[in-house]
Chains A and B, each alone.
Chain A
Amino acid sequence: MDADIFTGILVGEQGALSLEEMVEACGAETVWVVELVEVGVLSPVGRDEAAWRFGALDLLRARRLARLARDFEASTEAAALILDLLDEIERLRARLRRAGMEID
Chain B
Amino acid sequence: MEFKDYYQSLGIERSAPEGEIKRAYRKLARKYHPDVSKERDASERMKAINEAYEVLKDPEKRAAYDRLGTGWQPGQDFHPPPDWDTGFEFRGSPAGGGFAGDFSDFFASLFGGATGARHRAGFQGRGEDHHARILIDLEDAFRGATRAVTLRVPELDAEGRLAVRERTLNVHIPKGIREGQVIRLAGQGSAGPQGGRAGDLYIEVAFKPHPFYRVDGRDVYMTLPVAPWEAALGATVKAPTPGGPVEVKIPPNSQSGRKLRLRGRGIPGEPPGDLYLVLEVVLPPAQTDRAKQIYQTMARELAFDPRRGLGV
Q: Tell me if B186 and A86 are in contact (CB < 8 A).
A: no
- Complex-state Cα separation, A4 to B168, whole angstroms: 10
Residues on B with C-beta less than 8 A from A13 are 178, 180-181
- The stretch that binds A, out of B2-10, B28-36, B62-70, is B28-36
Q: Tell me if A60 and B172 are in contact (CB < 8 A).
A: no
Number of interface residues of B (CB under 8 A): 50
Minimum CB distance partner of A59 in chain B: B182
State whether A10 and B174 are in contact (beta carbons under 8 Å apart), knowing that A24-B126, A60-B204, A100-B214 are contacts in the complex: yes
Residues on A with C-beta less than 8 A from B35 are 64, 67-68, 82, 86
B237-281 vs A: 1/0 string, CB under 8 Å? 000000000000000000000000000000000000000101010
Residues on A with C-beta less than 8 A from B26 are 72-73
State whether A100 and B278 are in contact (beta carbons under 8 Å apart), knowing that A5-B172, A60-B204, A68-B33 are contacts in the complex: yes
Q: Tell me if B183 and A10 are in contact (CB < 8 A).
A: yes
The answer to whether the Cβ of A3 comes within 8 Å of any Cβ in the partner chain is yes
Q: Give A55 Cβ to nearest chain B Cβ, in Å.
A: 9
The answer to whether the Cβ of A48 comes within 8 Å of any Cβ in the partner chain is no
Partner of B223, one of A7, A63, A67, A100: A100
Q: Tell me if B170 and A3 are in contact (CB < 8 A).
A: yes
Residues on B with C-beta less than 8 A from A100 are 214, 221, 223, 278, 280
B175-208 vs A: 1/0 string, CB under 8 Å? 0011011111110100000000001111110000
A4-35 vs B: 1/0 string, CB under 8 Å? 11111111110000000000111100000000
Q: Tell me if B129 and A11 are in contact (CB < 8 A).
A: no
Residues on A with C-beta less than 8 A from B278 are 100
Q: Tell me if B188 and A6 are in contact (CB < 8 A).
A: yes
Partner of B181, one of A5, A24, A56, A67: A56
- Complex-state Cα separation, A26 to B184, whole angstroms: 13
- The stretch that binds A, out of B91-99, B109-117, B289-297, is B91-99
The answer to whether the Cβ of A71 comes within 8 Å of any Cβ in the partner chain is yes
Residues on B with C-beta less than 8 A from A73 are 26
Known: A2-B170, A72-B26, A98-B221. 14 other contacts (CB 8 A): A4-B170, A5-B171, A8-B201, A9-B183, A10-B177, A10-B181, A10-B182, A12-B181, A25-B200, A26-B98, A60-B182, A63-B131, A72-B33, A104-B38
B residues adjacent to A (C-beta < 8 A): 26, 29-30, 33, 35-36, 38, 46, 50, 95-99, 120, 124, 126, 128-129, 131, 146, 168-172, 174, 177-178, 180-186, 188, 199-204, 214, 216, 221, 223, 276, 278, 280
**The 3 A-B residue pairs with the shortest CB-CB distance in the complex, in nearest-first order:** A27-B98, A8-B183, A56-B182
